[in-house]
Structure formats: structure tokens, C-alpha cells
Amino acid sequence: MSEAGAATRSVVFEKEFAYPPEKVWRALTEGDLIQQWLMENDFKPVVGHRFQLRSTPMPQWNGVIECEVLLAEPHERLTYSWEAFGLESVVAWTLAPTDGGTLVRMEHSGFPADREAAYKGAGYGWQKFMAGLDGVLSTMEGAV
């Protein structure tokens, strides 16, 4: 167990998507779209909403990630808690409009030094999820 205030690490991905912030926001906040690139869910972009992300169960894991929306500023910022494998962490999304679309920054923070496997697993997982997000954005109808 890490002590309060102990140093933690973050997994960070930054990528510019060729779509407006409104379209990226939809992909991050609409349950049916989230399911296409992340996991099954009961997400709502409402601060205080508790939701689950559901994946395939594995040995020592029921496949459920417990989450709560901490911040939802449409088209700009989205933050939620992420609890799995006995580790509490936070996922924060920041959207910034660019000339070519939207710069998306995702930071998954709260990995203590003694949880190397969780940190590496998150890095691998988010790499896959971000590619999936790109795919969903490319197939979504309309500009917004």
C-alpha cells in the first residue's frame, strides 16, 4: 500500500485528431460510442455519476472497473476516477481546438512505484484504446 503523498506516475497520450472538439467529446461521452473504442459502460457525463466499464473477466479480476465522473466541461475537459485491481487512479481528458482539429491529451494518473505491472498494463491498454478512438471518430456520422 502506498502512503498518502507518495510519488506516483502517469500514463500520458497526446494526439491531434482531424475532428472538431464537439465530435471528439461525443466519442468520449456517449455510451454506445465509448463501447466501440473502450469498453461496455453505463457512462453519463454528469459530475458525481458512478459508472462501470466492463471488460472480459480474467483470473483474479471480474472485468469491472468502478468509476465516478469528477469533472465534465463539454468539449474541453473530462475527468473520472478509475478503480481496478485494488488501485484507485484518475483519467483526465483535455481537448484543445487546433487549426487541423483537436489536440487530445489523456492522462491516467496515480500509479505508485510498487505497481509496475499496473502502470505497464495501462500504457499498453491506452495505446490500444487511443487507436480505437481514432477508428470510431473516422466512422462517426457528421461533423459534430
What the block records as the C-alpha cell of 7 is 510519488
Distance CA 140, CA 13 (A): 22
**Which strand (E) or helix (H) includes residue 106?**
strand 101-112
Distance CA 129, CA 33 (A): 12
One pLDDT digit (tens) per residue for the chain, 144 residues: 444 556 899 999 999 999 999 999 999 999 999 999 999 999 999 999 999 999 999 888 899 999 999 999 999 999 999 999 899 999 999 999 999 999 999 999 999 999 999 999 999 999 999 999 999 999 997 655
SS3 annotation, 52-82? EEECCCECCECCEEEEEEEEEECCCEEEEEE
Does residue 63 contact residue 53 with C-beta atoms inside 8 Å? no
Can you name the residues that pair with 12 across neighbouring β-strands?
Answer: 107
Please give the order of strands across the beta sheet that includes 8-17.
8-17, 101-112, 87-98, 77-84, 64-73, 50-54, 40-41
Cα Rg of the chain, angstroms: 15
* CATH T-level fold of 10-139: Alpha-D-Glucose-1,6-Bisphosphate; Chain A, domain 4 (3.30.530)
